[in-house]
Amino acid sequence: MGRCPSSRVYDPAAVNAYALIAIATVTVATVAIGAWGIRLVRGTSDLLVASRMVSPTQNAAAIGGEYLSAASFLGVAGLILAYGAQMLWYPVGFAAGYLALLLFVAAPLRRSGAFTLPDFCEARLASPRLRRLATAFVLFIGWFYLLPQLQGAGLTFRIVTGAPSWVGVVLVGAVVTGNVAFGGMRSATYVQAFQYWLKLTAIAVPAFFLLARWNDDGRPAIPVDDAWLAPAGGMVATYSLILATFLGTMGLPHVLARFYTNPDGGSARRTTTIVLGLVGLFYLFPTVYGVLGRVYTPELATGRNDTVVLLLPAAALGPGLAADALGALVAAGAFAAFLSTSNGLLTSVAGVLANDVLGRGRLAVWGPLPLFRVAALFAGAVPMGLALAVHGLNVSQVVGLAFAVAASSFCPMLVLGIWWRGLTAAGAAAGILAGGGSAVVAVLWTIFLPPSPGLAADLLAQPAAWTVPLAFAVMVSVSLATRRRVPGAVGAMLLRLHAPETLHTPETQRKSETSRL
């Protein structure tokens, strides 16, 4: 006879000593791998793009490491627990976004020779003002995306150890800032690649044990309620979510920065193809936690559903060594998620601050190592302060809104800049301000002044359905109105972006990159 799940007793506030050891081990391993990468740093190219020598397989694992954030490891399962199968659009969109990246952006962006996204904007459209505008949006997206990572770290640390949340925030912030400040992209590559495989193991192994327990309990039915059956926000919100996640990946600065590290455009395409497989494999498992959470931790559906991944092993297996060991493994994976994603975000933000703000686009002239380290310290301090001051944000919601801003600003600029010779700097700037600016306003409004339920609330909570088309329309119309201001070298630039790899000799590549510095 199967056991009754309700007969088990677990304490959500209990401290798992094994989990504390696991978190400490992950933290020490992160510092050790980062320190090893620091030894290989020789100059600006290592700091910003790892000397463009990262193989497709290693780069794909590193992208998976930084991309699978707190929203992926904790938030997706929590949303499925609370709202059911309709929330599967999140992982579908998160993974499918790399298909759009593969088709439209990856190889041409790598061939541009840029070091940062603002660097590409100025190289393509010959506008220092556009570069400054792009820098502002990179900083907003990076810091806004970092906020839920640090808050998730605080939540995990409090659940596992009983310590105040701020300890986890400071711990992750300090470790990541130190790694980025001294190792840059070179160090981040090794850390993130290691942490992808750790996260996959940490979420997959307990999932198999949980499925075995559910089977041993007689496969109890999954409880459903109105929240599971009712559409979440309606058709407008669903389409908006799909647009944000599918196109937002194409505009995330920290993801795009990793493609600058490939040797050439072909390697960038191969990297993207591998990422599709790695990310898709990972997203098979959060659904297991969300569904089984309805059986073993239904009370979390109306409370902190973000904690279901952390608490489910103890609830399903009951007190004992197995539950503690699996709980420790999940905690280690969650902490790896915060560390690796924060590492990638901070590397991107620090690179932009150093190269595009402090260095004014000429980082090598200003002394790369000290300048980059100052930028990294500042880049880490800002989100740490925000995470300590702002509380109660939903991890997946905040990340989804960051995707909406990226989809409404950099996605249209990249697509049109790479594939349409008629784009002008005025058109790009107007589109970024119209689409991205509207998304920023909607994001802040949703967080601080949530409106009453209705269509207006849906359009603000998930703004991509109208901000993405707005950005494209404004970019095209303003560019047509200013067609005489198309850069004179647009033909040569587009040839560089789309020419076969055999035409990109090492000498021409070196000259292009030297001009960027």
Question: What DSSP assignment string belongs to 210-275?
Answer: HHHHHHHTT-PPPP--HHHHS-SSHHHHHHHHHHHHHHHHHH-HHHHHHHTTSSSHHHHHHHHHHH
Q: Give the pLDDT of residue 334.
A: 87
Q: Give the pLDDT of residue 433.
A: 97
Residue 503 CB neighbours (<10 A): 10
d(CA 418, CA 343): 28
Q: How far is CA 340 from CA 66, 77, 187, 282, in A?
A: 5, 19, 11, 15
Which of helix, strand or coil describes residue 118? helix
Token output for 315 = 């609830």
Q: Give the pLDDT of residue 365.
A: 41
d(CA 84, CA 227): 8
Q: Give the pLDDT of residue 232.
A: 56
Which of helix, strand or coil describes residue 451? coil
Query: Position 128: which residue type?
Result: P
d(CA 49, CA 52): 6
pLDDT mean for each 10 residues of the chain (517 residues): 48 64 88 76 67 87 88 86 84 88 88 85 92 93 88 81 86 87 79 92 95 93 71 74 90 86 87 93 94 91 83 88 90 88 87 78 52 85 88 71 92 95 96 96 82 77 93 97 92 88 54 48
Q: Give the pLDDT of residue 368.
A: 52
d(CA 382, CA 367): 23
Residues 6+ apart with CB under 8 A from 186: 37, 38, 40, 41, 46, 47, 50, 51
* Angle at the Cα of 94 from the Cα atoms of 455 and 414, rounded to 5 degrees: 90
Model pTM score: 0.85
d(CA 241, CA 474): 21
262: left (phi over 0), alpha (psi -120 to 50) or beta: beta
Q: Give the pLDDT of residue 23.
A: 86
- HSE-CB of 504 using CA atoms within 13 angstroms: 23
| 64 close to 278: Cβ distance less than 8 angstroms | yes
